[in-house]
Structure 1
Amino acid sequence: MDRLDQVLTAADPLLTRVDQVLSVAGAPAGHDVWLELRRVRLLPGDAARAVAALHPAAIAEAVPELRAQAQACADTAGALPLATTWSGHAAEAYESARRRTAEQLNLGQDSLSHRMTATAELADGLAAWMIRTRAGLAGTLAGVLTSAEALTLVAGAGFPEPEEARAAAEVATILLRSVGDSYDQAEDLLDDASTLTSPQPVG
Structure 2
Amino acid sequence: MDRLDHLLEVADALLSRVDAVLSAVGAPAGHDVWAQLRRVRLLPGDAARAVGALRPAAVAEAVPELRAQARACADTADALPLAADWTGAAAEAYEAARRHTAERLNVGPHSLSRRMSATADFADALADWMTRTRRDLAVSLAGALTSAPALTLTAGPAATSGVGGAGSAGETGSGRGLPGPDEARAAADIAALVLATIADSYDRAEDLLDDTTHLKAAQPV
* Bucket of the pairwise TM-score, normalised by the shorter protein: over 0.9
Inter-partner Cα distance in structure 2 for 1:118 and 1:196: 8
What is the number of equivalent residue pairs in this alignment? 202
**Structure 1 segments of 4 or more deviating over 6 A?**
none
Which amino acid in structure 1 is aligned with residue 76 of structure 2? Answer: T
**Residue number in structure 2 paired with 1:63:** 63
Give the equivalent residue in structure 2 for 1:15: 15
Specify every segment of 5 or more residues in structure 1 that has no aligned partner in the other structure, as ranges. Answer: none
Q: How does 1:40-119 map to 2 (within 5 A)?
A: 40-119=40-119
DSSP 3-state at the match of 1:86: coil
Match of 1:25 in 2: 25
Supply the AA of the counterpart residue of 1:39: R
Residues 1:183 and 2:202 aligned together = yes
Among 144, 158, 164, which residue is 2:183 paired with? Answer: 164
- CA distance in 1 between counterparts of 2:19 and 2:111 reads 48
Tell me the TM-score normalised to structure 2 length: 0.90
Q: How far is 1:91 from its partner? A: 0.6
What is the CA–CA distance in structure 2 between the aligned matches of 1:123 and 1:158, rounded to whole Å? 48
* Structure with greater contact order relative to length (CA < 8 Å, sep ≥ 6): 1
Matching residue's letter, 2:61: E
> How big is the shift at 1:155?
2.0
Question: How far apart in 2 are the matches of 1:143 and 1:71?
Answer: 46
Q: CA deviation at 1:186?
A: 1.0
Instruction: Give % identity.
Output: 70
Counterparts of 1:66 and 1:11, CA distance in 2: 37
Distance 1:23 1:67 in 2: 47
Listed as ranges, the gaps of 5+ residues in structure 2 are 157-175
Q: Provide the rounded CA distance (Å) in 2 between the counterparts of 1:77 and 1:103.
A: 8
- The whole-number CA distance in structure 2 between the counterparts of 1:196 and 1:158 is 54
Q: Say whether 1:197 aligns with 2:197.
A: no
Larger CA Rg, structure 1 vs 2: 2
Structure with more of its chain in helix, by fraction = 1
Residues in 2 aligned to 1:13 and 1:129: alpha-carbon distance in whole angstroms: 27
User: 2:123: which partner in 1?
Assistant: 123
Return the offset for 1:5: 0.4
